[in-house]
């Protein structure tokens, strides 16, 4: 366990150095690598949850998948609209920052709601619909100018943006505490991977409250911590949940095989009993026929002896 932890720390250290060096030369490339790597992890978690819904009715995992699918969507639009990308040239640094804030609200509030209410019967369908609606409606509000400003070039972050980061950090921190209380066994089984990932997300939020340049050092630090969160989600939550689901699927297959063997043995016993019964009936029938045949022959043979 200790060697595994040291290996992960070494990988994170190497990635941090490589990303810092890359950011010095091409910040857009650095930003795109971190964001798209995180998006891929989020998508895998999302697809895993919906695949798992066919195998196990685990509402928290399904809620988590919905959260990260919506997060992946918002992160993708945020990355494509980032200042300097040129893919959405009519959008400014303010728009990409607004999308980031929207994503943080969806992520934080979704995690807290899932931690508190995922055990309720009505939760799953309404939760997924709400996440999708808020993501799409929020994106539309940003596109049409109805979302509060978050970044003003030359002045930096707005009060709304800073407040939103702290609100998101508070919700994520509360989600960590609730999952530690309500899902202690699952957390321990996965090495508290989800909680560590969320803690890195909270730490990144602090960096995102103090930068004044979207290409600045604190923005870079925030994205590196955000990348740490995605890495822990990948190695802990995604891989751990995948192994758990494969074990569950393997156990279900073994149980089905055992059930089929039991059914086969039962049918063989029934068939054997039917054959034995048929053999007994045949023996009785042949004995009866033999007796009926011998009876008149005995009379004929007796008469023949008498005539002699």
For residue 301, is pLDDT > 60? no
pLDDT in tens, 186-219: 666 666 888 889 999 999 999 999 888 888 889 8
Long-range Cβ contacts of 35-38 (<8 Å, 24+ apart)? 35/75, 35/78, 35/79, 35/82, 35/223, 36/79, 37/227, 37/230, 38/75, 38/226, 38/227, 38/229, 38/230
Residue whose structure tokens are 């609606």: 133
Which pTM does this prediction carry? Answer: 0.78
Tens digit of each residue's pLDDT (9 = 90 or more) over 241-284: 767 766 666 666 777 787 888 887 878 877 887 777 777 776 77
Residue-range domains of the chain with CATH: 19-246 (1.20.1070)
Give tens-digit pLDDT for 45-65.
888 877 777 666 677 888 888
């Amino acid at each position: 366990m200790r060697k595994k932890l040291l290996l992960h720390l070494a990988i994170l250290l190497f990635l941090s150095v490589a990303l810092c060096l890359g950011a010095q030369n091409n910040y857009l490339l650095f930003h795109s690598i971190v964001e798209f790597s995180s998006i891929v992890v989020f998508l895998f978690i999302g697809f895993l949850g919906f695949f798992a819904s066919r195998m196990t009715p685990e509402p928290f995992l399904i809620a988590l998948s919905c959260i990260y699918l919506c997060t992946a969507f918002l992160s993708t639009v945020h990355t494509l609209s980032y200042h300097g990308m040129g893919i959405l040239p009519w959008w400014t640094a303010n728009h990409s920052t607004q999308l980031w804030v929207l994503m943080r609200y969806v992520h934080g509030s979704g995690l807290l709601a899932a931690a508190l209410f995922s055990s309720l019967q009505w939760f799953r369908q309404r939760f997924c619909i709400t996440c999708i609606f808020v993501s799409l409606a929020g994106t539309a509000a940003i596109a049409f100018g109805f979302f509060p400003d978050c970044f003003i070039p030359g002045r930096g972050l707005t009060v709304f943006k800073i407040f939103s980061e702290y609100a998101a950090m508070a919700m994520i921190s509360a989600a960590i505490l609730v999952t530690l209380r309500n899902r202690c066994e699952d957390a321990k089984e996965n090495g508290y991977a989800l909680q560590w990932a969320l803690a890195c997300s909270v730490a990144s939020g602090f960096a995102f409250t103090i930068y004044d340049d979207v290409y600045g050092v604190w923005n870079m630090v925030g994205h590196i911590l955000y990348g740490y969160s995605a890495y822990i989600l990948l190695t802990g939550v995604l891989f751990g949940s995948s192994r758990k689901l494969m074990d569950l699927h393997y156990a279900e297959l073994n149980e089905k095989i055992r059930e089929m063997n039991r059914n086969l043995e039962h049918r063989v016993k029934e068939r054997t009993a039917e054959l034995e019964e048929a053999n007994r009936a045949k023996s009785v029938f042949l004995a009866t026929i033999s007796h009926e045949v011998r009876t008149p022959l005995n009379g004929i043979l007796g008469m023949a002896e008498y005539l002699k």
